[in-house]
Amino acid sequence: MWRGEGMSELGKALQSVAERVKQAAARRSKTLPALQPRLVAVSKTKPPEMIIEAYRQGQRDFGENYVNELVDKASNPQILESCPDIKWHFIGHLQKNNVNKLLGVPRLFMVETVDSVKLADKVNSSWQRLRAAGTQRLKVMVQLNTSGEQSKHGLSPEETVNTVRHILSQCTALHFSGLMTIGRYGYDLSEGPNPDFQMLLRWRQEVCDNLNLPLEEVELSMGMSTDFEHAVEVGATNVRVGSIIFGNREYPNSAANTPSPSPEKKAKVVSEDAAKKMAHLTVSEH
């Protein structure tokens, strides 16, 4: 799958991450479902050329978190031509008024961020209307807010079972694929297993017990650049890795427009959050 000679920096980074995913999977407890984890390369803010290069190196799954950016990239003529088997994952916050736009994306593989019954219904009815007869159901994951932070999207974990039940029984155009979390930023793994990931595991168990689903049919999307190996070791089947593959993201003007943090707060956390907000503004403007 991986091309050996003439490999670009991007190719090397990709290969190294893929290898680390494989090794982490081999360290998993045998009590976990033996699902080969899927590596989703998160290409947000990165140009089409980098996506094409990663594809050329064998990568197939790509993640984007803003609808407009995903629409632009997925319908980019070069990507359409060079990446016939690309699989797009939507991993950002989805608003109901953007659903039709998102579902029009060519080669959309999965929406990882369904976080309410209403949104599930909207995605379901849109997919029913938009898809050609005979097309597959759309894969969706249910996003949980495992950290309880106000700023995070995702449903509160107690609603998980009912939401999944609703999708299984009412959303016939959707295929429920699993649970997703972002988790708190900057958790220190030396303090033990990431509690957000443990929470996702616990709610998968609840879903499976209550709805009579086999564990291996419910995926877990968790883990990013800083913690994907840990995530895989504890059971992630889908990791979303961006910056260590494509390099750090640049958010234009973020420094200039960041409000000065209050002295009590950790500057690092504040500036990361501000950078994310700026990214949102910047991206939704174009």
Ligand X SMILES: *Cc1c(COP(=O)(O)O)cnc(C)c1O
Question: Is the CB of 91 or the CB of 119 nearer to ligand X?
Answer: 91
Minimum distance of ligand X from residue 231's CB (angstroms): 11
# of chain residues touching ligand X (CB under 6 A): 11
Examine residue 91 and tell whether it contacts ligand X (CB under 6 A).
Answer: yes
Examine residue 73 and tell whether it contacts ligand X (CB under 6 A).
Answer: no
Minimum distance of ligand X from residue 1's CB (angstroms): 21
In 133-266, alpha helices (H): 160-170, 195-211, 228-233, 243-246, 254-257
Q: How far is CA 205 from CA 16, 120, 164, 215, in A?
A: 32, 21, 13, 7
Examine residue 224 and tell whether it contacts ligand X (CB under 6 A).
Answer: yes
Examine residue 238 and tell whether it contacts ligand X (CB under 6 A).
Answer: no
Examine residue 110 and tell whether it contacts ligand X (CB under 6 A).
Answer: no
Examine residue 82 and tell whether it contacts ligand X (CB under 6 A).
Answer: no
The secondary element (H helix, E strand) that includes residue 41 is: strand 38-42
Minimum distance of ligand X from residue 235's CB (angstroms): 17
Is the CB of residue 249 less than 8 Å from the CB of residue 242? yes
Identified binder of ligand X from the candidate list 243, 257, 258, 271, rule CB under 6 A: 243
Identified binder of ligand X from the candidate list 225, 257, 271, 282, rule CB under 6 A: 225
Window 9-48: residues binding ligand X (CB under 6 A): 42, 44
Helix (H, G, I), strand (E, B) or coil at 40: strand
Examine residue 154 and tell whether it contacts ligand X (CB under 6 A).
Answer: no
Q: How far is CA 189 from CA 16, 43, 184, 229, in A?
A: 21, 25, 12, 11
Contact residues toward ligand X (CB under 6 A) are 42, 44, 65, 91, 182, 224-225, 240-243
